Structure 1
Amino acid sequence: MRLLFWVAVLFGGAVGLALFTQFNHSNVVLFYPPYRVELSLNLALALLLLVFFVVWTVLSTVRHLSEMPRRAAAYRERSRMNKAQAALRESIENLFAGRFARAERAAREAQSWEAQAQTAALVGARAAHRMQEIERRDAWMAQVTDPEREQARLVSMAELLVDARDADGALETIAQLQAQGGRQIHVQRIALRAHQHLKNWSEVLRLARSLEKRNALHPVLALRLKQMACEAMLEERRHDAEALSAFWRTLSADERRAARIAEPAARYFAALGRQDEARRIIEDALKVNWDSRLVLRYPDCARAGQALPQIQQAEKWLNEHPADADLYYALGVLCLGEQLWGKAQSSFERALKYADRNHQGRLRVRTHLALARLFEETERPEEAQRHYRESAMLAA
């Protein structure tokens, strides 16, 4: 449609010009004494148009000739820029492909364009780090001096230091970053790894909780890290009942009910003579998560001669878990402590009946030893010797 419009305009202009020249009988007279030049108006207009075209052509030629050095310089700059950008792309691709030597060479070529020289230095530093070239890595990083790239330099350096197991250096770098107001989730992940290397379990627990709340850690990984931290912090306080209680109160309900946390906590409380707290920990955890480690720890929560409440609770659990060998063993230990010989013997025998021969070999050994001690207490040495032999054979 646009082409048709301009064709119509062109033809219209041609028709108008033809009519103008056909009916135009005017003359142009130029006086320059003693000369006199007389021209038709049409010829005068044609000559003016020709002169304008010639002058315009000459001026354009002069302008283009004067701009040639600048254009040549711009062309060379564009060529250098395109080559540098191609080298940077190649460097990044080689870095991701694991060709670190090529990545470093390409990063050096990419520095030929000043605008991306420091970005290429960050790529070169990562490539050198992957090749365990620490001095070259630091030399690359030293080239990053632009304030706008300071955050990228600090985050990259912290990540590389953690990867090299220099946790102190990584945390020092993160401190510089946070002093500038940086609080990224990725930085928290790096800090989490650094504190994990240094076994700063309180910080590991804090960061794992924070990252889990932001959905920045897989739930399974977050749970595992929290369990590791809690286990270590419980062990640090295992000789101080007050410190142990104070730390236990800081844990969330989900953390308290995790088997890997509840079991050592109950063990330490029981060892410090706080059997009631140990019992509450295990009973609360078993309501949510039935776990053999907690069940086997349950007899340690009973005070000597005061195990009847635990026995009654174990019998209630048997209604829900009638074929649980660990629970029968725990019930037998509780009954053995209360000298309920018949009930203890039947519980141990059922534990042997339901115990998996392949996966619960240790439980069978412990059950035979418990039966042997029971028969010794009830003066049945022959049966005790038989169970001692059974336990020895299973242990072997």
Structure 2
Amino acid sequence: MRAALWLISLFSLAVAAAWLAWHNNGTVTFFLMPYRVDFSLNLVLLMLGLVVLVVVLAQQALSALLSLPKQAQRWRLQQKERAAHAALLKSISNFMAGRFLRARKSAQAALDKEARLKDAGLELDHAVALRTVAHIMVAESAHALQDRDVRQTHLQEALDAAKEGQSSERQALTEGAQLRAARWLLDDRDAAGSLSLLKSLPSALGRRMVAMRMQLKAARLAGQPAQALDTAVLLAKHRAFTPATADSLVRGLILEWLSHLHDPESVQRMWLNLTLAQRAMPDLAAEIALRFVALGGSVALAKPWLQPLWAPLQSPQAKWTPDQLARMVQAMEACLTDAQAADARQWLARVEAAQQAHPQDARLQYLAGMVCLRHQLWGKAQSLLSQSVKGLQTPALKRKAWCALAELAEQRQEPAAAAAAWKQAALVSQS
């Protein structure tokens, strides 16, 4: 529609100009003594238009001629700028290809080209970013070549170059250089140095996923599982891992933290610091309870830690790995009390319910047999333990089951059966 209006307007102007020129009878007279020259008004207007056109064209030609030196200088600057960019891109491509020596030479060439431009008084618009990234590439290549002196030198030069940029550019370049420095320290297995550098970063930068990932690796390398666990939980909240990976990582860190504790008070503090979801993990609850009791902790304190596990254990749909169930059984056995305890009958009922939910599970048969043994239910204990030794695969449980059967045989004054049971227990110990 707009194009049609323009065409209509142009045709209208052309028609109006033709009509005016056709009906214009005016003349222009020039008196040049002793002559007089008459010109048509249309001719005079046409000549004036031609003069204006010639003047404009001459002005443009003169301007283009005078701007040739600047254009040549701009062209030379573009060529040198492209050469510097090409050298930097070549450095990056060589670094990705594993050609670290070539990458360092190309990055150094980019720095040299940029320096020559600066010495000639030709400052690029993004010279700060170009210089900083080139220094980082030299440092990256030197790090890959195990040349720490060159790496640190160019790292400092990159930080100095970044300070010359504007606010947003300076912040981005400085943060990038600091994160790379922390990564290099981590690669050098200098966990303390990497953690120190990461802690010195601004809080906003420290909360970024890449920084938290490095904090996790550095904390694990430094043997600080508590800090690593906190970082892993934050990463899991930010969905840095899949749910299965996050659970496995958190579980491993908690077990690693547990292995560093050597007194029951520390284990109890650790348990209180865990979240409800972490306490509900069956293998974690079992391992922590076992560690707590083994270090001399109170069984009465450890018992409630296993409380959330009774319901899923009694459910027929519960799916446990063999190792998880074995550790659960060991933890529950370690927390068993005498028959005179206030909750002894409650535990007996729960163990029987779990065993009935999984009647073919040898581990639960063993646990139920040991509970019956505590309650002096000799016959039932004998039956359950005799069934369990046929299917137990965990040596510790199988050995204790045979020992319990041997003690029951001695109590019944059956020396032959007791000797056979003791022999089986010894064979399990030797296997």
**TM-score using structure 2 length:** 0.76
1:375 counterpart residue number: 409
2:329 equivalent to 1:295: yes
Q: Look up the equivalent residue of 1:118 and give its one-letter code.
A: T
Measured in 2, the distance between the counterparts of 1:19 and 1:139 equals 81
C-alpha spacing 1:19/1:160, structure 2 compared with 1 (3 Å):
same
In the alignment, which of 265, 268, 276 is matched to residue 300 of structure 2? 276
SS in structure 2 opposite 1:39?
A: strand
1:245 counterpart residue number: 268
1:202 counterpart residue number: 226
2:75 counterpart residue number: 75
Comparing 57-66 and 69-78, the one that deviates more: 69-78
Counting only pairs closer than 5 Å after superposition, residues 177-192 of structure 1 correspond to structure 2 as 177-178=201-202, 183-192=207-216
Counting only pairs closer than 5 Å after superposition, residues 105-124 of structure 1 correspond to structure 2 as 105-108=105-108, 111=111, 112=114, 114=127, 115-124=129-138
Measured in 2, the distance between the counterparts of 1:378 and 1:47 equals 138
Unpaired segments ≥5 residues, structure 1? none
Q: CA deviation at 1:91?
A: 4.7
Q: Look up the equivalent residue of 1:299 and give its one-letter code.
A: E
Q: CA deviation at 1:54?
A: 2.6
Q: Deviations over 1:19-55 (max 9, x none)?
A: 5444444332334556654433333333323322332
SS in structure 1 opposite 2:28?
A: strand
Measured in 1, the distance between the counterparts of 2:16 and 2:306 equals 105
2:177 equivalent to 1:140: no
Q: CA deviation at 1:180?
A: 7.7
Two-structure CA RMSD over aligned residues (Å): 3.5
Q: Deviations over 1:103-148 (max 9, x none)?
A: 5455445554625222343344444434444334333322323241
Counting only pairs closer than 5 Å after superposition, residues 1-396 of structure 1 correspond to structure 2 as 16-31=16-31, 36-89=36-89, 91-92=91-92, 95-96=95-96, 98=98, 100-101=100-101, 103-108=103-108, 111=111, 112=114, 114=127, 115-144=129-158, 145=160, 146-147=162-163, 148=170, 149-178=173-202, 183-241=207-265, 243-271=266-294, 272=296, 274-288=298-312, 291-303=325-337, 306=340, 308-309=344-345, 310-337=347-374, 340-355=377-392, 360=394, 363-391=397-425, 393=427, 395-396=430-431
C-alpha spacing 1:377/1:45, structure 2 compared with 1 (3 Å):
same
C-alpha spacing 1:240/1:369, structure 2 compared with 1 (3 Å):
closer
Q: Look up the equivalent residue of 1:48 and give its one-letter code.
A: L
SS in structure 1 opposite 2:360?
A: coil
Q: Deviations over 1:179-198 (max 9, x none)?
A: 68753233222222211211
Q: Is the 8 A contact 1:296 1:327 kept in 2?
A: no
Q: Look up the equivalent residue of 1:265 and give its one-letter code.
A: I
C-alpha spacing 1:180/1:392, structure 2 compared with 1 (3 Å):
closer
**TM-score using structure 1 length:** 0.82
- Counting aligned pairs with the same residue, the percent is 30
Q: Is the 8 A contact 1:128 1:136 kept in 2?
A: yes
Q: CA deviation at 1:66?
A: 0.9
Measured in 2, the distance between the counterparts of 1:94 and 1:218 equals 33
Measured in 2, the distance between the counterparts of 1:124 and 1:99 equals 12
Measured in 2, the distance between the counterparts of 1:80 and 1:2 equals 45
Unpaired segments ≥5 residues, structure 2? 115-123, 164-169, 314-319
